[in-house]
Amino acid sequence: MNDHPLVSTQWLADHLSSPDLVVINAWMPPVTHPDAPPVYPEAHIHGAVFFDVNEICDKSSDLPHMLPQPHVFSSAMRKLGIGDGQTLVVYDDFGAYSAPRVWWTLRSMGAERVFVLDGGFPKWRAEGRPFEDAVPRRTQSHFSSRLNNAAVADIDDIRNVITSGARQILDARSADRFEGTAPEPRAGLRAGHMPTAQNLPFNHLLSENGTFLPREDLIKTFQEAGIDLNRPVTTTCGSGVTAAILTLGLTIAGARDLALYDGSWAEWGSRDDTEVATGPA
Catalytic positions are: 237
Is the CA virtual torsion 244, 227, 220, 208 positive or negative?
A: positive
- Residue 115 CA to chain centroid, in angstroms? 12
